[in-house]
Copies of this chain bind each other. A is one copy, B any other.
Amino acid sequence: MTDTPRPRAVVLLSGGLDSTTVLAVARRDGFDLAALSVRYGQRHAAELDAAVRIAQRMGVARHEMVDLDLRAFGGSALTADIPVPKDRTARDIGAGIPVTYVPARNTVFLALGLAFAETIGAADIFIGVNALDYSGYPDCRPAFIEAFERLANLATKAGVDGTSRFRIHAPLLALSKAEIIALGLSLGVDYAGTCSCYDPLPTGEACGRCDACLLRLRAFEAAGVRDPIAYARP
């Protein structure tokens, strides 16, 4: 009797809290894990260093790091010379699309995930978007994910000849950040290795003041758990 090989999945892994939790979900669901990280001209390398460590710890069979310099376009505080907003209130964070929005980022990342998936014969692509705490990004909504799944099956050789029916998994879509943390802890995620900050200090500590840090700190508080990472200003 031979074992049936496990189906492969591509997980988009930024090294943050959400994508790390998604990786744990894909592992729980029995997939053979491939991870894709994109070096897209982020302000710092801390996130990608975290992605490498997490992939190693969590049993990822293949981790690709793709270079794509979105700074050529500019247009976001994460890739251009626009200051990252600090110390915003919960109401401000929730209102409108912030300057940290990277134009069409999730479309670009899912497109790369699709290219990778088709190449390695994976039909399942995991992405850590969530619609509740989504901080105003249009490409974190259910309608966007559904539209991409539809596109994926029209765009590819595997979708057209029927060898694969692509599925985009966004298991965090309906979860709050506190629920995401609870899910991750139940799956054995060690959040000490993750990096969420938009603007960490040269020492690697999270700033504690950007939208990502504020959402994360509030979420750990709501989950009733201590955030294990180091902050410059907790």
Binding site for B on A (CB under 8 A): 64-70, 72-75, 97, 101-108, 110-112, 114-116, 118-120, 138-139, 141, 143-144, 147-148, 150-152, 154-157, 159-161
Contact = CB atoms under 8 A, between A and B. Distances in A.
A222 B72 CA distance: 40
Contacts of A154: 138-139, 141, 143-144, 147
Contact of A119 (B64, B73, B108, B120): B73
Nearest to A160: B138
A108 B114 CA distance: 9
8 contacts: A73-B116, A73-B119, A75-B118, A75-B119, A104-B155, A138-B155, A139-B156, A147-B155
Contacts of A139: 154-156
A103 to B, nearest CB: 4
B119 A103 contact: yes
Contacts of A115: 70, 73, 102-105, 107-108
Contacts of A152: 104, 107
A118 B150 CA distance: 22
A101 B159 CA distance: 14
Nearest to A118: B103
Contacts of A148: 151
Contact of A106 (B65, B108, B155): B155
Contacts of A107: 111, 114-115, 151-152, 155-156
A161 B97 contact: yes
